[in-house]
Amino acid sequence: MDLTTWGWSPVYAQHLTLEDYESSAVARVVAIHRTGHVVATDSRQAQIPLGGAWYQRPTEERPTVGDFVVVDHAFTRIDRVIPRKSVFKRLAAGSKLDVQLIGANVDTVFVVTSCNEEFNANRLQRYLTLARDASVEPVVVLTKADLADNPEEYADFARRVSGDAVIEPVNALDQDDVARLMEWVRAGDTLALLGSSGVGKSTLLNTLAGEELQDTGGTMADDRGRHTTTHRSLHQLQNGAIVLDVPGMRELGLVALEEGLDELYDDVEAIAATCRFSNCQHDTEPGCAIQAAIDDGRLEEERLNAYYKMQREERRHTESLAEQHHRSRQFSKRVKSMMKQREKMFPGRH
């Protein structure tokens, strides 16, 4: 495959058939615009509109940034998505209840936040849940450490809510400081940058790349920064790594991420497993290990409440989405049944 600079590996090649090699091509989705998906190989790039048939499928099955896809030789049609190694997803923003795919086939994620008022523990935990659910190694990068009076305070708080994730405070403008992150920026691997607007993702990307790949747009007077990334896209770095840059997301609804929550809060799960009763509600039951851990300081009540809150939200969204999909399938079945009946009654008419 002509994809060595885009992270192609035997993990994906095993899903190809002899017919694929003979009659098709394989490319990687490197960006998504309103007018189409941009796909690329080492020697070719094209923008392909997503055909209407794709929108008859669930959102999770449609190609997203980072996917390897089988296309026709003319690069006019995406035929199928090669099974993914990992995928980030969230509840789509807005009133429509649906899943949004953020990116696929990522090896490591930098969850980027900053040492100022943009730091938000709840949002940080949500990003980490996305990473854990995708089985992707997370690294919490605290930018603007050079502007904070005491960056270690932010680092300590991040450690309290991030489980065993690595925490790295940096000055994203300082090449030498950012060099500490390069052990996770490996040739052939795909690194994702996730975080809200204004935390310095574009600046960090430019420093990692050693060149200006994204316009940072300067910094506003109140140090919040500007929203500069406008669409999801992959960037190739000089050392052979690939970086997925994603627009800032303030809404990060959890859906179908139960496994990620359990991993992020594995300390809570481990304590709960030692309760006297398997159906313990962790309230007033005798022998409750959760309450004992709170009393002796091994578990913060704030962390437990955050877990419960995110767990309730994830279940509510997942159940609502499942109900919507069920209604959609039932409606589709009724339409097909009506069409068959019409064909029987009026053969030959369309």
CATH number of 101-245: 3.40.50.300
What pLDDT is recorded for position 229?
A: 47
Q: If you search the block for the tokens 């992270």, which residue do you land on?
A: 7
Interatomic CA distance for residues 152 and 43, integer angstroms: 46
Per-residue pLDDT tens digits for 271-281: 888 888 888 88
* Contact residues for 71 (Cβ-Cβ < 8 A; gap 6+): 24, 25, 26, 27, 39, 48, 77, 78, 79
Q: Which of 176-185, 196-205, 297-306, 320-329 is least confident?
A: 320-329
pLDDT at 98 > cutoff 60: yes
Q: If you search the block for the tokens 């605290």, which residue do you land on?
A: 142
**Average pLDDT estimate for 153-181:** 92
Q: How far is CA 183 from the centre of its chain?
A: 21
Contact between residue 142 and residue 177 where contact means Cβ atoms under 8 Å apart: no
> Mean pLDDT of all residues in the chain?
83
Q: What is the pTM of this model?
A: 0.73
What pLDDT is recorded for position 220?
A: 36
* Contact residues for 282 (Cβ-Cβ < 8 A; gap 6+): 272, 275, 288, 290, 291, 304
* Contact residues for 261 (Cβ-Cβ < 8 A; gap 6+): 129, 132, 133, 254, 307, 310, 311, 314
* pLDDT band, residue 323 (cuts 50/70/90): low
Every domain of the chain and the residues it spans: 4-83, 101-245
pLDDT at 216 > cutoff 50: yes
Q: What CATH architecture does domain 4-83 belong to? A: Beta Barrel (2.40)
Q: Which of 51-65, 85-99, 137-151, 174-188 is least confident?
A: 85-99
Which of these, 59, 189, 62, lies nearest to 48 by C-alpha position? Answer: 62
What pLDDT is recorded for position 236?
A: 94
Per-residue pLDDT tens digits for 236-270: 999 999 999 887 665 565 655 666 677 777 888 88
Interatomic CA distance for residues 112 and 170, integer angstroms: 10
Contact between residue 48 and residue 36 where contact means Cβ atoms under 8 Å apart: yes
Q: Is 133 exposed, middle or buried (0-12, 13-18, 19+ CB in 10 A)?
A: buried
